[in-house]
């Protein structure tokens, strides 16, 4: 008690000045009032005796997962999807509320599955509702994630990722490339032709390679990517090439036709985003391990369906907290402009939820101009995300930040306390069905979903304190 | 419309830079569309969709510049102008940027500020009451002691905070803890004291400061002063922080004597704390304020156990030889000093109305205080009370409310004596006498002009020789203005009481 302490001050600057006057430099917190109306709920959640340990458990569970690519399978087999089943990105939505790109992707997928003869016939099919013999359900409800519209149907092939220690699995469809593609809502003949080739050639070639090369450690590849300038959301170039490095020998040896192997390698190598569809399920696998821990305030999913942006939180089960998806701020392809862009869409924000993508901007100087200006801005973005996260990921480190771990585990309370919203790097789909990609940029969730999640956490804490069972 | 398409071979820029170039060029007046891109198959497809006719020999290593000019503006914006815009944008994209702000932004929450903090870090929280608990909890969870200066923290939050702290051996000082000295560093409102053998544990701030100042005058130094908050010894909180603070001082080799200062606690808590204090190896002097026990007396008792002679507590100025009639008006910035003054004065004067009354019958609401309506009884106001600091700085920082009340009181013919306190030290006003001394002079002049009489002003000045405000200069300025200045609040109060004609207890409060 005799040594002069380090003093952290939060609040009145005058009192911090009084510390400074004593030749002890106060470490000042740049405190600002919390989001309006959240003070009581913040106090209730802060007082929750379960919270600290629940969050520690959630982070530990998340960090304990090693995601391995163990197989490539048709969705019918991997997910048990049957004819007429459609998975989609984001929180639940129906046809009536679906945005242009979501509708476009559903139309293309309906044609792909032979449910309609022509994509243009699909709107009538979907408008008829559940009685028409189809189901529409979020990918997230099936341990799956889908980029952009995220539409998955039985004939599409998916990556199968597994946590070696628990056997838990997650799934994601194969990446189709850029431009006019189904996930951005395009459904022209060449889009469908490419999807058919992916199911008939690419999927089987990859399956044979993965099965013979053995599991691919995606978590470890992500660690290397982050050291090589990929933030694993809008830039996956190093990851894609490393995946090829690991799989090409097996592809050549596995008995696939040489021409098919060549086509597959050219397709994967020509698509820098191919690895994104492995990064996403790897992130989901780790985050799923952190789900359903009573008292935890950690966000375990952020996802958008083109209409709504939703989050799920560890301590509130499968409940979605949703608000209107925002239009990204960014750069547009060709002559497209803001009027052409659909609001934010896709499950790919699972990467930010896991602490990469926008959260790892500092490691990806090659794309900073696309998503936020200068290199110092990128460093600041990653540091800022550290304000709303529970931990750093010791496996995923950023060289330019002295190998600091990526900010990990978005904390609902910290978001409400600081008003700092998660920064998401994203692609932009055209507003009109059939358009495809129109740009890429930055987006944040709608503010109100975090106070809503906080209120639910506070309610459960109150219920527990009162000795009643928590309600769903 | 005029289309222009050209290829630039052997020129490369990354796609992101080119998107930005395209955007900039498209913003040039007269340019309808602009697409500057490497001639990859995807980009060629995009250009084709846009209606541009790209040479067939374009390869992915070529840069395509495609521009579409508005027909109407071809006159004013030449193709050369548009191409110049392309060149300028390309040059800008490849030019090194001005150095951005590389300074690391300060942390936004206590939790993040503690991520790389040394073990012995202390946190001081002074955010508004409704947010204080959350920040303090960050400190407790990270295993750091925390001083909660904030007031208006709900009682249940205080209990929750101290429960959490107890399981982690963390000390929570406060809420509403004005003063602490730890490791020689004063936190909140703190006097500059010499190091020494005495550890202070106190429920509130100005009580601690009175003791620190008197000990300093007696030449005795302090090892630490730990505030616990005014409610710590209540039945609800149960003295949780008091126990932790006592244990800390018991374990501290520099501390040979401890003084515990509080308002009278709940009886069962008092018994438990007394028993706990007796179980410690360090002697604990309990100073539980009452009609019989004041801070000065407690300090004198402590000095006796230390075998240090009690000095004559200092005074400055000249007393007014005036006696009543009228009422005593105490206007305090220190809550404990106000409490002590009421306990001392009540014995002679009977009930005293206050916003922090000794009994509920004597309550004066904050609105009346703010309106300057102090009635016609003996009154003592604590301007540092929670109800008077909502959205406003403590009166030791912002003297506005008290100065207004002083002027009001002086104009009231029923005021016989004004009793004030001035508290020095870090955190307090840099020069309180600068505003208070002229106000005192004005008050006395007002009383003389309006009522033709002398208005005695009695001041307690709490401070040490080393305080930044300069104790002697403050005392001199106040005395110069006509105040009689004491270093002991108990002595000041007794002096003021003696100046007021005693009012029989039976008629007190019925005098109007």
User: pLDDT (tens digit, 9 = 90+) per residue, B165-189?
Assistant: 999 999 999 999 999 999 999 999 9
Q: How far away is chain A from the Cα of B104, in angstroms, using its nearest Cα?
A: 7
> Which position has the higher pLDDT, A166 or B79?
A166
Reported ipTM? 0.90
Tokens 């075998």 identify what position?
B307
Q: How confident is residue B100, by pLDDT bands cut at 50, 70 and 90? A: very low
User: pLDDT (tens digit, 9 = 90+) per residue, B141-169?
Assistant: 999 999 999 988 999 999 999 999 999 99
Contact B183 A383 (CB under 8 A): no
pLDDT at residue A345 tops 80: yes
Provide the pLDDT for residue B144: 97
pTM equals 0.87
CA angle B338–B344–B346, rounded 5-degree value: 95
**Residue B326 to residue B332: CA distance in whole angstroms:** 19
Contact indicator for B50, A337 with CB cutoff of 8 Å: no
Find, among B398, B391, B399, B464, the residue nearest to B426 by Cα: B464
Q: Region B17-28: what's the mean pLDDT?
A: 83
Provide the pLDDT for residue B102: 52
B484 φ/ψ angles, rounded to the nearest 5 degrees? -100, 120
Contact A15 B188 (CB under 8 A): yes
**Residue B175 to residue B162: CA distance in whole angstroms:** 10
Q: How far apart are the first and last CA of chain B?
A: 94
Q: How far away is chain B from the Cα of A161, in angstroms, using its nearest Cα?
A: 31
Burial of residue B476, with CB atoms counted within 10 A of its CB: 0-12 exposed, 13-18 middle, 19 or more buried:
middle
Provide the pLDDT for residue B75: 60
CA B277 to chain centre: 30
* Contact residues on chain B for A466, CB-CB shorter than 8 A: none
- Best mutation target, B108, B130, B177, B464, to test chain A (most A CBs within 10 A): B108
Q: How far away is chain B from the Cα of A19, in angstroms, using its nearest Cα?
A: 7
Q: Region A345-372: what's the mean pLDDT?
A: 91
Find, among A249, A248, A263, A253, the residue nearest to A200 by Cα: A263
Provide the pLDDT for residue B21: 86
For residue B404, the 8-state DSSP code is H
In A, residues 302-341, which contact B (CB 8 Å cutoff)? 331-335
Q: Region B295-312: what's the mean pLDDT?
A: 96
* Contact residues on chain A for B125, CB-CB shorter than 8 A: 10-11
- Best mutation target, B70, B112, B424, to test chain A (most A CBs within 10 A): B112
User: pLDDT (tens digit, 9 = 90+) per residue, A226-246?
Assistant: 999 999 999 999 999 999 999
Q: Region B328-345: what's the mean pLDDT?
A: 94
Structure tokens at B440: 């005192």
Sign of CA dihedral B276, B279, B282, B288: positive
Provide the pLDDT for residue A472: 44
Structure tokens at A77: 């087999």
User: pLDDT (tens digit, 9 = 90+) per residue, B418-437?
Assistant: 999 999 999 899 999 999 99
b (16+ CB within 10 A) / e for B43-65: bbebbeebebebeeebeeebbbb
Contact A10 B113 (CB under 8 A): yes
For B145-191, give the DSSP string.
Answer: EEEE------HHHHHHHHHHHHTTT--EE-SS--EEEETTEEEESB-
In A, residues 427-456, which contact B (CB 8 Å cutoff)? 439
Find, among A131, A139, A202, the residue nearest to A171 by Cα: A139
* Contact residues on chain B for A461, CB-CB shorter than 8 A: none
Q: Which residue of A has its CA nearest to B138?
A: A46
Provide the pLDDT for residue B97: 47
Out of B99, B117, B185, closest to residue A8 by CB: B117
* Contact residues on chain B for A375, CB-CB shorter than 8 A: 97, 100
> Which position has the higher pLDDT, A369 or B330?
B330
Reported as half-sphere exposure (CB side, CA atoms, 13 A), residue B169 has a value of 3
Q: How far away is chain B from the Cα of A43, in angstroms, using its nearest Cα?
A: 6
User: pLDDT (tens digit, 9 = 90+) per residue, A27-57?
Assistant: 999 999 999 999 999 999 999 999 999 999 9
Find, among A232, A243, A465, the residue nearest to A363 by Cα: A232
**Mean pLDDT score across all residues of chain B:** 89
Provide the pLDDT for residue B324: 61
* Contact residues on chain A for B126, CB-CB shorter than 8 A: 9-12, 15
Q: How confident is residue B509, by pLDDT bands cut at 50, 70 and 90? A: very low
**Residue B113 to residue B106: CA distance in whole angstroms:** 8
Q: How confident is residue A130, by pLDDT bands cut at 50, 70 and 90? A: low
Contact B101 A376 (CB under 8 A): yes
> Which position has the higher pLDDT, B387 or A343?
A343
User: pLDDT (tens digit, 9 = 90+) per residue, A279-303?
Assistant: 999 999 999 999 999 999 999 999 9
Using the Cβ of B2 and the Cβ atoms of chain A, whether some distance falls under 8 Å is answered with no
Lowest-confidence pick of A3-7, A29-33, A448-452, B112-116: A3-7
In B452-511, which ranges are continuous DSSP H helix?
471-480, 489-499
Contact indicator for B247, B282 with CB cutoff of 8 Å: no
Q: How confident is residue A372, by pLDDT bands cut at 50, 70 and 90? A: low
Cis geometry, peptide bond prior to residue A367 (ω within 30 degrees of 0):
no
In A, residues 128-167, which contact B (CB 8 Å cutoff)? none
Q: How far away is chain B from the Cα of A208, in angstroms, using its nearest Cα?
A: 30
Contact B133 A375 (CB under 8 A): no
For A351-398, give the DSSP string.
Answer: HHHTT-GGGGGGG-GGGHHHHTSSHHHHHHHHHHHGGGEEEEEEEEEE
Using the Cβ of B107 and the Cβ atoms of chain A, whether some distance falls under 8 Å is answered with yes
Residue B74 CB contacts under 8 Å (≥ 6 apart), including other chains: B2, B30
Contact indicator for A283, A233 with CB cutoff of 8 Å: no
Out of A7, A10, A11, closest to residue B185 by CB: A7
Lowest-confidence pick of A232-236, A341-345, A432-436, B111-115: A432-436
CA angle A301–A384–B97, rounded 5-degree value: 120
Find, among A206, A156, A154, A209, the residue nearest to A181 by Cα: A156
Out of A33, A377, A387, closest to residue B107 by CB: A387
**Residue B373 to residue B379: CA distance in whole angstroms:** 11
Contact indicator for A9, A15 with CB cutoff of 8 Å: yes
Q: How confident is residue B223, by pLDDT bands cut at 50, 70 and 90? A: very high
């Amino acid at each position: 008690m005799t040594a002069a302490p380090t003093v952290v001050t939060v609040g009145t600057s005058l009192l911090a000045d009084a510390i400074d006057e004593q030749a002890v430099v106060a470490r000042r917190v740049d405190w600002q009032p919390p989001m309006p109306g959240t003070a009581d709920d913040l106090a209730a959640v802060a007082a929750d005796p379960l919270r600290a340990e629940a969050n520690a458990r959630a982070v530990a569970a998340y960090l304990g997962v090693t995601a391995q690519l163990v197989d490539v399978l048709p969705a019918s087999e991997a997910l048990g999807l049957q004819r007429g089943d459609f998975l989609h990105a984001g929180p639940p939505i129906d046809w009536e509320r679906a945005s242009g790109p979501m509708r476009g992707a559903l139309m293309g997928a309906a044609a792909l599955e032979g449910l309609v003869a022509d994509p243009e016939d699909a709107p009538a099919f979907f408008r008829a509702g559940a009685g028409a013999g189809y189901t529409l359900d979020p990918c997230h409800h099936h341990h799956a994630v889908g980029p952009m519209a995220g539409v998955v149907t039985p004939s599409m092939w998916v990556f199968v990722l597994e946590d070696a220690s628990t056997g838990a699995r997650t799934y994601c469809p194969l990446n189709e490339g850029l431009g006019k593609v189904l996930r951005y809502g395009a459904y022209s003949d060449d889009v469908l032709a490419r999807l058919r080739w992916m199911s008939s050639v690419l999927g089987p070639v990859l399956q044979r390679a993965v099965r013979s090369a053995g599991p691919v450690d995606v978590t470890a590849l992500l660690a290397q990517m982050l050291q090589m300038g990929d933030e694993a959301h809008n830039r996956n170039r190093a990851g894609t090439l490393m995946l090829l490095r690991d799989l090409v020998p097996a592809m050549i040896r596995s008995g696939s036709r040489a021409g098919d192997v060549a086509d597959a390698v050219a397709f994967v190598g020509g698509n820098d985003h191919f690895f994104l569809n492995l990064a996403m399920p790897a992130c989901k696998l780790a985050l799923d391990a952190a789900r359903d821990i009573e008292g935890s305030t950690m966000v375990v999913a952020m996802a958008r369906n083109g209409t709504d942006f939703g989050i799920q939180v560890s301590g509130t089960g499968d409940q979605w907290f949703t608000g209107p998806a925002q239009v990204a701020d960014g750069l547009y392809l060709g002559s497209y402009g803001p009027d052409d862009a659909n609001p934010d869409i896709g499950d790919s924000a699972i990467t930010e939820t896991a602490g990469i993508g926008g959260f790892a901007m500092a490691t990806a100087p090659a794309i900073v101009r696309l998503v936020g200006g200068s290199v110092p801005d990128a460093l600041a973005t990653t540091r800022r995300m550290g304000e709303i996260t529970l931990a750093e990921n010791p496996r995923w480190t950023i060289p330019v930040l002295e190998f600091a771990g990526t900010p990990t585990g978005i904390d609902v309370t910290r978001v409400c306390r600081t008003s700092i919203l998660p920064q998401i790097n994203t692609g932009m789909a055209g507003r009109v069905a059939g358009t495809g990609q129109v740009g890429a940029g930055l987006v944040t969730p709608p503010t109100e979903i975090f106070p809503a999640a906080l209120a639910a956490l506070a309610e459960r804490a109150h219920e527990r304190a009162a000795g009643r069972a928590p309600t769903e | 419309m005029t289309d222009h398409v050209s290829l630039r071979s052997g020129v490369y820029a990354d796609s992101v830079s080119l998107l930005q170039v395209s955007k900039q060029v498209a913003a040039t007046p007269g340019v309808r569309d602009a697409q500057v891109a490497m001639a990859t198959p995807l980009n060629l497809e995009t250009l084709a969709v846009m209606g541009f006719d790209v040479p067939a020999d374009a390869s992915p290593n070529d840069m395509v510049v495609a521009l579409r000019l508005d027909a109407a503006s071809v006159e004013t914006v030449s193709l050369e102008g548009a191409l110049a815009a392309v060149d300028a944008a390309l040059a800008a994209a490849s030019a090194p940027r001005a150095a951005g702000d590389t300074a690391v932004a300060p942390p936004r929450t206590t939790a993040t500020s503690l991520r790389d903090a040394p073990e012995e870090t202390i946190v001081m929280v002074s955010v508004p009451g409704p947010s204080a608990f959350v920040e303090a909890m960050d400190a407790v969870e990270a295993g750091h002691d925390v001083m909660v200066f904030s007031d208006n923290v709900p009682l249940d939050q205080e209990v929750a905070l101290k429960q959490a702290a107890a399981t982690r051996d963390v000390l929570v000082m406060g809420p509403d803890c004005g003063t602490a000295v730890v490791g020689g560093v004063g936190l909140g409102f703190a006097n500059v004291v010499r190091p020494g053998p005495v550890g202070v544990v106190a429920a509130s701030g100005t009580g601690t400061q009175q003791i620190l100042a008197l000990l300093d005058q007696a030449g005795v130094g302090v090892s630490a002063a730990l505030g616990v908050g005014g409610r710590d010894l209540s039945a609800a909180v149960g003295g949780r922080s008091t126990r932790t603070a006592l244990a800390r001082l018991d374990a501290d080799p520099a501390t040979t004597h401890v003084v515990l200062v509080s308002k009278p606690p709940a009886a069962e808590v008092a018994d438990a704390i007394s028993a706990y204090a007796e179980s410690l190896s360090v002697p604990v002097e309990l100073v539980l304020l009452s009609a019989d026990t004041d801070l000065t007396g407690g300090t004198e008792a402590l000095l006796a156990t230390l075998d240090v002679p009690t000095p004559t507590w200092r005074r400055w100025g000249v007393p007014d030889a005036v006696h009543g009639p009228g009422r005593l008006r105490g206007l305090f910035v220190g809550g404990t000093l106000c409490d002590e003054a009421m306990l001392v004065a009540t014995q002679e004067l009977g009930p005293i109305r206050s916003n922090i009354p000794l009994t509920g019958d004597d309550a004066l609401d904050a609105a009346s205080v703010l309106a300057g309506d102090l009635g016609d009884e003996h009154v003592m106001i604590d301007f540092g009370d929670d109800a008077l600091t909502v959205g406003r700085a403590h009166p030791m920082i912002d003297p506005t409310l008290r100065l207004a009340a002083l002027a009001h009181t002086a104009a009231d013919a029923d005021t016989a004596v004004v009793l004030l306190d001035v508290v020095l030290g870090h955190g307090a006003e840099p020069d309180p006498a600068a505003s208070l001394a002229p106000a005192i002079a004005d008050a006395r002049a007002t009383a003389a002009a309006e009522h033709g009489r002398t208005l005695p002003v009695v001041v307690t000045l709490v401070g040490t020789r080393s305080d930044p405000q300069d104790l002697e200069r403050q005392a001199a300025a106040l005395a110069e203005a006509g105040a009689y200045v004491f270093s002991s609040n108990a002595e000041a109060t007794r002096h003021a009481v003696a100046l007021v004609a005693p009012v029989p207890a039976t008629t007190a409060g019925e005098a109007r």
